[in-house]
A and B are shown apart, each in its own frame.
Chain A
Amino acid sequence: GQQVMQIPQYQHVQEGEDFTTYCNSSTTLSNIQWYKQRPGGHPVFLIQLVKSGEVKKQKRLTFQFGEAKKNSSLHITATQTTDVGTYFCAGNKAAGNKLTFGGGTRVLVKP
């Protein structure tokens, strides 16, 4: 079946620094989504990428979808304590209606 892998599993970041988390699918995706889950909370939808090579920005967050539509990345600049949480990518196979989630990257910020 479809697998979605994320690396790293954990990311310790000094406040103010940048970091990137990566997402790789075993199959070609129709789209990829990113979610953020704060400690003790539920996943919250951030963004969807659909086109090959697409890049989208939300303030300090930059999301990219690979040319082959099998990988994606999330880059956060100038990390803040509010960025603490687990970031999940989730992929939809072509014409699919169910998301397969990656294992998540848990981000810890050192003040």
Chain B
Amino acid sequence: DAGITQSPRHKVTETGTPVTLRCHQTENHRYMYWYRQDPGHGLRLIHYSYGVKDTDKGEVSDGYSVSRSKTEDFLLTLESATSSQTSVYFCAIRVGDGYTFGSGTRLTVV
């Protein structure tokens, strides 16, 4: 979909370790977003970016940081992973009226 890929697709990590998830787009879209999806909570916004080096917090940003040094890449970092961060993480880009989502990263923190 619209040239957006997420990596890795699956990851298992230990509590306390740093983890970085990558979102890559090929179509030069300005806005990029990171959401997490948990049962009963729908999709919740973690951070978003409106340009290179321009980022802002979403509703559940604690414990996460982001970076966007190039238009095509938006990185999400868990500085010290906790079990509460076990989730499915979706990256999205704003394309026209709507968002196009990546295929997601399933992260398990043990």
A contact set with B: CB distance below 8 Å: 1, 6, 9, 33, 35, 41-46, 48, 88, 90, 97-104
Contact = CB atoms under 8 A, between A and B. Distances in A.
Interface residues of B, number: 24
Contact of B42 (A1, A45, A98, A101): A101
B101 A42 contact: yes
A44 B99 CA distance: 8
Contacts, number: 53
Interface of B: 1, 31, 33, 35, 40-45, 48, 50, 58-59, 90, 94, 97-104
Contacts of B97: 33, 45, 48
Contact of A43 (B40, B43, B45, B59): B43
A46 B100 CA distance: 11
Contacts of A9: 40
Given A98-B48, A101-B44, 17 more contacts: A1-B59, A9-B40, A33-B97, A35-B98, A35-B99, A42-B1, A42-B104, A44-B101, A45-B98, A45-B100, A88-B43, A97-B31, A97-B50, A97-B94, A98-B45, A99-B99, A101-B35
